[in-house]
């Protein structure tokens, strides 16, 4: 059977996620940072008048931090019933992969921290000609992920409180803001 994956990069490594799990792919927007949040929690953005938590997959997977570029994207997915943006370095393509080209994660690297890796896809790529040699077919490896399993059970539970619209801001917050601003001198 053939499956379709959204392919993206993190720290020059290729990853794939089943296209059925991705609601949208959007450019990175202005992110509001949240104090005392976990390191991999990038912040929140406004998407369709809803607060969308954003997780930085680069940090989540232990890669060094990198400032966003023009190619940085958010994969919008549902995790534990909540829409979440997963920040990636770049989305490269949608790719169809045959089950025959997907292998399980080798046992030596399968740990409790790799439960979100569903397999390794071996995909043909054509290597450029070099020194008079004809083009050779080379296989590149793509790590396949289940983004719904990237977070722990406790982290998923904490997300439950994030699914609200901007119209759902508590009444006390709207009432307090004008009073607080009256004493502000600019």
Q: Where are the domains of the chain?
A: 2-182
Residue 28 near residue 72, CB atoms below 8 Å? yes
- List pLDDT tens digits, range 105-153: 887 776 656 788 899 999 987 555 555 555 556 778 999 998 778 877 7
Backbone angles phi, psi at 135, to 5 degrees: -60, 140
Q: Looking at residues 52-78, what average pLDDT do you find?
A: 92
Question: Alpha-carbon distance 41 to 37, whole Å?
Answer: 6
**pLDDT exceeds 90 at position 38:** no
Extended strands (E) in the chain: 2-10, 13-18, 22-27, 41-47, 50-56, 73-79, 82-88, 90-98, 102-103, 117-127, 136-145
CATH 2.60.120.10 given to domain 2-182: no
Q: Quick check: pTM over 0.95? A: no
Which residues, listed in sequence order, are joined to residue 78 by a DSSP beta bridge?
83
Question: Percentage of residues in the chain with pLDDT exceeding 90?
Answer: 44
């Amino acid at each position: 059977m053939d499956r379709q994956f959204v392919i993206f990069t993190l720290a020059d490594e290729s990853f794939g996620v089943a296209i059925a799990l991705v609601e949208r792919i959007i450019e990175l927007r202005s992110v509001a940072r949240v104090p005392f949040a976990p390191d991999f929690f990038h912040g929140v953005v406004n998407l369709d008048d809803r607060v969308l938590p954003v997780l930085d997959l680069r940090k989540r997977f232990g890669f060094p931090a990198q400032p966003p570029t023009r190619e940085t994207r958010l994969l919008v997915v549902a995790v534990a019933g909540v829409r979440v943006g997963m920040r990636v370095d770049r989305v490269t393509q949608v790719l169809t992969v045959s089950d025959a080209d997907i292998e399980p994660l080798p046992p030596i690297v399968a740990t409790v921290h790799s439960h979100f890796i569903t397999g390794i896809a071996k995909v043909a790529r054509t290597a450029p000609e070099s020194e008079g040699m004809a083009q050779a077919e080379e296989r590149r490896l793509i790590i396949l992920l289940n983004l719904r399993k990237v977070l722990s059970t406790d982290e998923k539970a904490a997300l439950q409180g994030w699914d609200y619209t901007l119209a759902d801001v508590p009444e006390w917050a709207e009432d307090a803001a004008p009073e607080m601003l009256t004493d502000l001198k600019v």
